[in-house]
Amino acid sequence: MPTTTRNRTAAQAEEIREHVLDTADRLYYSRGIHAVGMDALRDEAGVSLKRLYQLFPSKDALVEAVLQRRRHIWNARVDDAVTAGGPTPRGQLLAIYDMLARWSNDDGFRGCIFVNTFSELGATTPHIATLIRDQKTEFQNRLASIVATTGAPAALAHQLAVLAEGAQTTAAITGTTDPIHHAHTAATTLIDTALNQSH
């Protein structure tokens, strides 16, 4: 097969794979993973069942791919927020809560897909549970790296992470951004108190 043809075929395969991931992500996030079988995904994506299993050998493999992609999206959102927060660690930390407030205003917001997935699969699918724990640890480590530059106690990063996680879940349940704004206020108090004590 000529190189040009191979490249075109590979590009088409990648396009189909991304389309399936887009569809799976949307359905899993809006309906839940158990509620969406491979047949429903096939119908929604317009891809044959045979093609689905060629791309993803199992539903677990597809769920993992969706979560890995969401992980990259989340990390990019956090990085963008930190950049937007300006030169001070305080501004960077609080900008993460600003990002959460904007995100919770999106149509169809249902909280954190990692928490939602853990509630469905965490007890029965160890490798998915590990992936989710790794994502949460990664976020906490990101906060810790910012907190470390302030001289504040390391516990501040744990406190801010718990606030962020709880705010997302509560915002999804209540259908309002109020929990995010309350978390922002609480984070401000925690950060300012820690900074004052460290100086």
Model confidence band, residue 198 (pLDDT cutoffs 50, 70, 90): confident
Nearest-CA neighbor of 77 among 59, 51, 97? 97
**Which amino acid would we find at residue 154?**
A
Contact 63, 33 (CB under 8 A): yes
| pLDDT tens digit sequence for 161-174 | 999 999 999 999 99
Q: What is the rounded distance in angstroms from the CA atom of residue 198 to the CA atom of residue 153?
A: 8
Look at 151 and 78; give whichever has higher pLDDT.
Answer: 78
Q: How many other C-beta atoms are found inside a 10 Å radius of the C-beta of residue 119? A: 12
Q: Which fold has domain 1-57?
A: Arc Repressor Mutant, subunit A (1.10.10)
Which of 142, 152, 160, 145 is closest to 195 using CA atoms?
A: 152
Q: What is the DSSP string of 30-53?
A: HH-STT--HHHHHHHHT--HHHHH
Q: What percent of the chain has pLDDT over 90?
A: 90
Measured between alpha carbons, how far is 154 from 148 in angstroms, rounded to an integer?
A: 7
Residue 190 structure tokens: 């925690």
Q: Where are the domains of the chain?
A: 1-57, 66-198
Report the CATH fold assignment for 66-198.
Answer: Tetracycline Repressor; domain 2 (1.10.357)
- Residue 176 CB neighbour total at 10 angstroms: 13
Instruction: Check residues 33 and 6 and name the one with the higher pLDDT.
Output: 33
Angstrom CA distances, 159 to 42, 78, 102, 106, 137, stand at 42, 17, 21, 26, 13
Task: Tell me the pLDDT tens digit for each residue of 95-112.
Answer: 999 999 999 999 899 999
